[in-house]
Amino acid sequence: MSEVAGAPHTSGAEFDQAAMIHRLPRATVVDRLPFLSGLVRGKSVIHVGFADAGCREMQQGAGTWLHAHLAQTAGSLVGIDVDVAGVEAAKAAGYEAYVADCRDVESVRALGLPPADVVIAGEVIEHLDAPGAFLDALHPLVRDGGQLVLTTPNANCLGNALAAIVGYEITHPDHVTMFSWRTLTTLMARHGWEATEFHTFVTTVKPTTSSGRLLRAGGTTLLWFTRTLGRLGAPFVADEMLVIGRPVPR
């Protein structure tokens, strides 16, 4: 095992292979939009990566744009994104929104925002070359006793295992990593976050072109199957994870 700066090092002589086996935590399968809308009810919320670049129009058309759902229940809501056009469109629609690079703690601090009860970073961390720096930079946004909510694809989902059997991989073209429960919580711990609550959820297959009907039918069947398995006691077969954490005093 090679040594990485900032990471604990275990020599080959000391390493116990049993340490590679981890019992999954208790988790529940949730419906993402109602769950998150309920979680933020009456609270101050900062939504990082809210603009959903490249998918905003599709999400708005399908009624699944998370930011709009959060706005219906949150006590206050602020959006932060690097997508200038997305931020301007949100401001024109009446949302409070700012442009900032949330991998850069100084960029975040420069906004001068009061820390929030809940910071949500949905489907962001898997796009980033430096996810650790991102987790560091979120600290100024979360108040003492507040919560960080991360959602990200689940590396161990059933869909990818089945796709691999027939020679495929299911991954967004802009993703640079996929996290398992263990790798994500380990990264969080190294950057000052304690994971306290775990959930999974199953995405929906949104309509695209008529040429994709067979693919959509197969996807819908697979997602129904994983949702059923999850609710029967195997939540980590689902394609997405939702992890809630809190800042660790440093």
**What string of DSSP letters covers 95-121?**
-EEEE--TT-HHHHHTT-PPPEEEEEE
Quote the DSSP letter at residue 53. Answer: T
Domains and their CATH numbers in the chain: 26-247 (3.40.50.150)
- Evaluate if residue 214 carries a pLDDT over 50: no
Looking at the chain, list the stretches that DSSP marks H as alpha helix, in order from N- to C-terminal side: 32-39, 56-62, 66-73, 84-92, 105-109, 131-137, 158-165, 181-190, 213-231
How, if at all, do strands 142-153 and 116-122 pair? parallel
Q: What is the pLDDT of residue 123?
A: 94
42 and 75 Cβ atoms separated by less than 8 Å = yes
Summarised one tens digit per residue, pLDDT across range 180-205 is: 999 999 999 999 999 999 999 988 65
Helix (H, G, I), strand (E, B) or coil at 218: helix
Name the residue type at position 21: I
Rounded to whole angstroms, how far apart are CA atoms 8 and 5?
Answer: 8
In degrees, rounded to 5, the angle at the alpha carbon of residue 132 between the alpha carbons of residues 130 and 136 is 120
Summarised one tens digit per residue, pLDDT across range 103-133 is: 999 999 999 999 999 999 999 999 999 999 9
Could you tell me the two tokens for 14? 């000391």
Rounded to whole angstroms, how far apart are CA atoms 35 and 184?
Answer: 21
- Evaluate if residue 102 carries a pLDDT over 70: yes
From residue 164, alpha-carbon distances to 61, 64, 71, 213 in Å are: 32, 29, 39, 21
Q: What is the pLDDT of residue 64?
A: 84
14 vs 78, more confident: 78
Rounded to whole angstroms, how far apart are CA atoms 78 and 232?
Answer: 37
Quote the DSSP letter at residue 16. Answer: -
Nearest to 51 by CA among 2, 9, 87: 87
118 vs 219, more confident: 118
Nearest to 207 by CA among 64, 33, 67, 62: 62
Residue 177 host element (H or E): none
Summarised one tens digit per residue, pLDDT across range 18-60 is: 888 888 888 999 999 999 999 999 999 999 999 986 565 656 6
Quote the DSSP letter at residue 249. Answer: P
Nearest to 118 by CA among 168, 185, 73: 73
pTM, whole model, 2 decimals? 0.85
